Structure 1
Amino acid sequence: MATVTELKTVLKDTLEKRGVLGYLKARIRAEVFHALDDDQEPRPPLSHENLLINELIREYLDFNKYKYTESVLMAESGQPVVPLDRQFLIRELNAFEESKDNTM
């Protein structure tokens, strides 16, 4: 019969392999940030520059499949939930898009 320690180890390993453990940890972090965020004191408005920078960071996180980190960034930064249009970003940054792989 398995011990409690062995069961915990197997459960932890299984959750890690499925990617659930990382998600849960990130979700808890996001909820802690949200709970600690003082609703009485408004967050300073996002400047245009910070909005663009945060959006680039979000795109990087999304490209690399860092969904959990992205969720914490969104919760902590106050960035709009709906991503900015990619063409808008390209115009604002005077960037260009490589047609063969859709990278900026």
Structure 2
Amino acid sequence: MATVTELKAVLKDTLEKRGVLGHLRARIRAEVFSALDDESEPPPPLSHENLLINELIREYLEFNKYKYTASVLMAESGQPVVPLDRQFLIRELNAFEESKDDSM
């Protein structure tokens, strides 16, 4: 018969393999940051360049489903909640899309 310690180890291993523990840890970090965030002190004003850089980082995080990391970035940076228009980003960065896939 398995001991409680062995059952805990198997449960932890299973949850880690499924990605559940990482997800929970990220969620807890985001919630702790949100609770500790001092909303009385506004973030510094964003320069045009930082706005674009933050938007690219947000797109990367959301594409890779790092939604809690993205939520912390948005809270800390003062980035607008509504994402910037993709065509606007392309024009501002003098970039081009190789694919018509809007997912990234």
Q: Match of 1:22?
A: 22
TM-score, with structure 2 as normaliser: 0.76
Alignment of structure 1 residues 26-65 onto 2, 5 Å: 26-65=26-65
Q: Match of 1:74?
A: 74
The aligned length equals 104
User: C-alpha displacement at 1:102, in angstroms?
Assistant: 6.6
With over 3 angstroms needed to count, the CA separation of the structure-2 counterparts of 1:44 and 1:91, relative to structure 1, is same
Alpha-carbon distance in 1 for matches of 2:78, 2:25: 20
With over 3 angstroms needed to count, the CA separation of the structure-2 counterparts of 1:7 and 1:72, relative to structure 1, is farther
Alpha-carbon distance in 2 for matches of 1:61, 1:8: 32
2:33 partner SS? helix
Question: Does the CA-based 8 Å contact 1:30-1:76 persist in structure 2?
Answer: no
Moved over 4 A (4+): 100-104
Q: 1:38 is aligned with what amino acid? A: D
Post-superposition CA distance 1:22-66 (Å, at most 9, x none): 111111111222222112222223222211101111222334444
Question: Does the CA-based 8 Å contact 1:33-1:76 persist in structure 2?
Answer: no
With over 3 angstroms needed to count, the CA separation of the structure-2 counterparts of 1:81 and 1:6, relative to structure 1, is farther
Superposed CA RMSD in Å reads 2.5
Return 5+ residue gaps in structure 1 as ranges.
Answer: none
Question: Does the CA-based 8 Å contact 1:58-1:70 persist in structure 2?
Answer: yes
TM-score, with structure 1 as normaliser: 0.76
